[in-house]
Structure 1
Amino acid sequence: MLSLLHHPNLMSLIGYCADGDRRLLVYEVMPFGSLEDHLFDLPPDKEPLDWNTRMTIAAGAAKGLEYLHDKAIPPVIYGDFKSSNILLDEGFHPKLSDFGLVKLGPVGDKSHVSTRVMGTYGYCAPEYAMMGHLTVKSDVYSFGVVFLELIMGQKAINSSRPHGEQNLVTWGSLQGHHPMRGLYQALAVASMCIQEQAVARPLIGDVVTALSYLANQAYDPNIASNYGNKGSGVDERGSKILRNEDAGGSGRSRAVVEAKMWGENWREKRWQSAQGSFDGSNGWLS
């Protein structure tokens, strides 16, 4: 099946070797390693990824999932979307790798694929972790977790943090250089992806549309006005995020909740309007 999947954001299978009971798959070389290598436990001499690069990686990874879900016939469920499975080419071009858990999507009147739970703890969607029900929306949930990792610079599960702050889905740390409005919008996209109910999550195509916009909005931390912000570079919604960030841990949690609420409002409007168009003035579907 891997030989039939071809997309710029999927690892290319070059060939394979078989010798007795030994099997070897040969993939292209990805010189920048995995996304995980550039997010967590960085050495002092290594610069963290800037905001623009993070959004570009997220958009590219989402396009890889979009190809599997919407372009492949039959649809393919990736099944193990996580930061260590996103490899980076020169220029931080992302490609999905490790297709050991891929499944063909449900066919006919079936709503899901039933399978033994084999994904990675912290990235698995609730319906998959609890019942073994796997759908393309399970991938969307996992994408949301990885997107939160990109935004926050925190691992999906970190047992070294205090109780209540170990799961990134329920707690976030907003830090680093970022545009306020872009941060708010990115959090909203992530919050939509990690909805507990699969039906409430967006299709990956909608995620690609939103992230393509964010990835194309170049951010310069040295310029006061970014993403349409004026004056201090912080709009009304961004000011609220900034105040919450300064307030400490509880403020960070409130910021995530506010982003979640705004994202839910956006999703409701999006679903109510089949004629929705991409509005560059505010960056969202009207």
Structure 2
Amino acid sequence: MSGHKHSIDFERGAAAYRGRFAPSPTGDLHAGSLLAAFGSWLLARRHGGQWLVRIEDLDPPREVPGAAQRQLDALSAFGLLSDGPVVRQSQRHALYAASLQRLLDADQAFVCHCSRSDLAASGGVHRRCVAHGPRVDHAAPQAAVRLRVADGATVEFDDGVLGRQRQDVAREVGDFVLRRADGHWAYQLAVVVDDADQGISDIVRGADLLDSTPRQILLQRALGLPTPAYAHLPLLLDAHGRKLSKSEAAHPLDPADPLPALRAAWAALGQAPQALVAVETVTQLLSAACDSFSPAQIPQAASSLAAMHNDPGTNAV
């Protein structure tokens, strides 16, 4: 993925702005999750729009029992409440199946028996089926279904934080999976179908998902769906430079003491700590944040969790 700095207009009209936060229930919310939730909530409020919550529970082997409800409880404690009913992907299989069938019928998707080992020589990039026959792996009893990516397929888009982005999807990604060989829906298909079905106009999420965006735009085009605006927020890193969600430093948020974590997320979004100094409740903090939020100050670079905790401004009461 390549990109260059490009100023995006955060002050565009508020008509029909709909944002969302879509956690996967693979664990409790941590500081990195809160940054994405708070940032997307602030941008929705900035535009006078709606902010929705969707639980992306389509990967049972990775899900932690009770995590989805704990995530919702934590969001509530932090004052980040969905403006509509919470959607759960596990209840939307029929929507994904209908969209996949449309792609198969149009020959824009195809059944594929290639395994990861089959594609090892090409670095995992699928450009043609090389499997010698149907899989016999009992752990993967079905074939996968992939989107047919045309040779030379390149996607460019303007990211609200990171500027102009470009990816040669055919060369860098290849024909990507829509339904996995184990029968589970792939993230790319589910998120595209859900965002369109929910009328999401603006997708604000962590920069770790930037690489997925060109695939999702290609899929939107194949299904004849609108393409939302995108903005990818800076990640939180541990002291070793690892993404927080993959680090032992990713401790669960403490819903009983939300102000320090909200202040830290505010600082990671590049906002002035002084704006929140006098607040004493979550309601006061969110009100002050809405009044003072400056989208243009959101940094492109990732933030260090340790550096934020050492900044006295983030812990002021």
Larger Rg computed on CA atoms: 2
Could you state the TM-score of these two structures normalised by the residue count of structure 1?
0.30
Q: Which has the higher contact order (CA 8 A, sep 6+)?
A: 2
Could you state the TM-score of these two structures normalised by the residue count of structure 2?
0.28
